[in-house]
Amino acid sequence: MNTLATVGITTLIYRDRFAYCAHPSITALDNGEWLVAFRFMQRWEGKIMHSHPQDHVFLTRTSDKGETWDEPCYAPDFDWHGGQCPGISQLSNGTVALLLSRENWYPLAVAKKRRAEGEPISIWLPGQRYVQDFKDDDWDRAVLTWARGYSNLYVYLSTDRGHTFEDTVKIDTSPYFCGQSRTGVVQLQDGRVAGFVSVNAPAPQATYILFSSTGGKSWDPPILITEHHIDFAEADIAEVAPGELYCILREEGGYLYGCRSQDGGHSWSVPEVTPLFGKPGHLLVLRDGRLLCTYGRRIAPFGIRACLSKDGGRTWEIDQEIVIRNDLPNSDLGYPVTIEYAPGQLFTCYYGQELDGVTCILGNHVTLT
């Protein structure tokens, strides 16, 4: 039973019975609207590939605190496709920043030439999904007629609250392979904008952070948070005190890991396991100073959980874990992101299946007590 929060009824943000919608991100805008970005993916013979040249990003918004939602639109425009999880944020100057990693996609014949020229290429092999370490003889075993190429990281900037994106900024992530970001950029108290990326293939495998002092229009070189001696992925950060950053890391074993920077992100402690069981995690510093972590639970009872920390993530009130959902039908769920739209008033959005098997974007109001 929740002792720290009251959870409202579930809100349907978007569903399409012919599609697979997942991996949402949410931001509260300065005019009272909420903006949600999510992935709109193809279903192919009932299967979801999670990475496809025709995947798109959708944006939907609400002006009544989640009671009703606008019909979604493509972001940053209809021609953008084939990417990963979107992260949406509004900066202090009103600019909306959409952070996306996008892969190159090629027909197999083109992919062969690109690979010969040195570009990392992945093909879908039977029983293995996308594989980058394959032999030339494996081209004939490819299940799909296309291949996935090198990733690039972009931030798209909007001055009209996400209705249009006027600026496209390609971020240089070298020496790291681009990788994935899951949530939006974070603006720090010193004005810098921080973005964070995890790289799981090819080497070097790592999670790193990027900083911009120009509101996202230019970016400094990456700073290493941690090398992946275990399977870390999908980081999120929060500034828990001036210049002190806390990072939460997904780990496939089930428990989230945390690490910390005391110097504004220039150096980081060694990641340590937390008592938070779920993946991946999202961090939010509440108006009263507490730190909230929200995460999906992919074992029974399937659902969405959250936990509070009074000391910036050093300890967690796991004995008072907040259960937002514990009635989802299976492990196809998660990626929650939470906003605080009024003191103690939260809204958490995530994805999960409904009883008819359609995966959609959902949300719940949560009141801290």
Report whether pLDDT(266) > 70. yes
Q: What is the mean pLDDT of the chain?
A: 93
* DSSP class of 44: B
* Cβ-Cβ contacts under 8 Å for 357 (sequence gap 6 or more): none
C-alpha to C-alpha distance for 12 and 18, rounded to whole angstroms? 16
Q: Give, rounded to a whole angstrom, the gap between the first and last alpha carbons of the chain.
A: 13
Total structural domains within the chain: 1
Q: How much is the average pLDDT of 169-180?
A: 86
Instruction: Kindly report the pTM of this predicted structure.
Output: 0.94
Report whether pLDDT(189) > 80. yes
**pLDDT at residue 312, rounded to an integer:** 97
Q: Write the secondary structure of 291-351 as one string of H (helix), E (strand) and C (coil).
A: EEEEEEECCCCCEEEEEEECCCCCCCCHHHCEEEECCCCCCCEEEEEEEEEECCEEEEEEE
pLDDT in tens, 33-62: 999 999 998 776 655 666 788 899 999 999
Q: Is the peptide bond before 53 cis (omega within 30 degrees of 0)?
A: no
* DSSP class of 78: T
Rg over alpha carbons for the chain, rounded to the nearest Å, is: 20
Of the pLDDT bands very low, low, confident and very high (cuts 50, 70, 90), residue 10 is very high
**pLDDT at residue 83, rounded to an integer:** 82
C-alpha to C-alpha distance for 28 and 18, rounded to whole angstroms? 29
C-alpha to C-alpha distance for 309 and 322, rounded to whole angstroms? 12
CATH code for the domain in which residue 184 is found: 2.120.10.10
Report whether pLDDT(135) > 60. yes
HSE-up (13 A, CA, CB side) for residue 340? 18
pLDDT in tens, 215-255: 999 999 999 999 876 678 889 999 999 999 999 999 888 99
C-alpha to C-alpha distance for 199 and 298, rounded to whole angstroms? 23
Q: How many CB atoms lie within 10 A of CB 16?
A: 15
| DSSP sequence for 347-369 | EEEEEEE-TTS-EEEEEEEEEE-
* DSSP class of 88: E
| DSSP sequence for 171-202 | E--TTS---B--S--EE-TTS-EEEEEEE-SS
Please report, to the nearest 10 degrees, the dihedral formed by the alpha carbons of residues 342, 346, 348, 349 taken in order.
Answer: -30
Of the pLDDT bands very low, low, confident and very high (cuts 50, 70, 90), residue 202 is low
Of the pLDDT bands very low, low, confident and very high (cuts 50, 70, 90), residue 205 is confident
Evaluate whether 302 touches 310 at the Cβ level (below 8 Å): no
pLDDT in tens, 282-330: 999 999 999 999 999 999 999 999 999 999 999 999 999 999 999 999 9
Q: By residue range, what is the domain housing residue 167? A: 5-368
Q: How much is the average pLDDT of 140-162?
A: 93
∠ CA 134-140-146, nearest 5°, is: 80
**pLDDT at residue 47, rounded to an integer:** 58
Q: How much is the average pLDDT of 15-44?
A: 93
**pLDDT at residue 194, rounded to an integer:** 97
* Cβ-Cβ contacts under 8 Å for 193 (sequence gap 6 or more): 91, 97, 185, 186, 187, 211, 212, 213, 215, 216
> Nearest CA to 312 among 364, 233, 248?
248
Report whether pLDDT(130) > 90. no
**Lowest pLDDT segment from 17-31, 74-88, 188-202, 314-328:** 188-202
C-alpha to C-alpha distance for 89 and 91, rounded to whole angstroms? 6
C-alpha to C-alpha distance for 264 and 110, rounded to whole angstroms? 43
